[in-house]
Amino acid sequence: MEDLLLRIWENLLHRTEGPFHLRFYMQPSVSLFFAIRAGIEDAKQGAVPFLWRFLVSKGKRKAVAREGWEDVSKVFFMGIAFDVLYQLVVIFKFGSQAYFYPFESIVVATALAIVPYFLLRGPVSRLVAQFYE
């Protein structure tokens, strides 16, 4: 298990260099754009910040999650596509990686698309709500 985590960590570090490294800036930026847009809309509607609303609304979690997923899903799937392309280039063109790791594509897409969205939407909503009071 320790070897698996070490391999994943090393592979993730290698992704920040070489082909497609620009996605480490672009994907979080696009995700943050959607988070800011949604946070402003939440503030206009007087809604509770997103992550808090997700955690405390027991019967409506699915609807709240779907609302966030509508914004971030496109960026997430583009992240998976870019990581698959990265791995194929590294395997077949450079030969510096021996295998294809689909789980790592999901980890990278989650880190670059979903995490920034969920971390920023609530604070933006709170900040903008102060101007609407």
Q: Say how many domains are in the chain.
A: 1
Reported as a single tens digit per residue, the pLDDT across 65-97 is 998 999 899 889 998 998 888 888 887 777 777
| Residue in the structure block whose two tokens are 């992550």 | 51
Q: At residue 27, does pLDDT exceed 80? A: yes
Higher pLDDT, 21 or 127: 127
- Structural domain harbouring 87: 2-132
Identify the band that residue 131 occupies on the pLDDT scale cut at 50, 70 and 90: confident
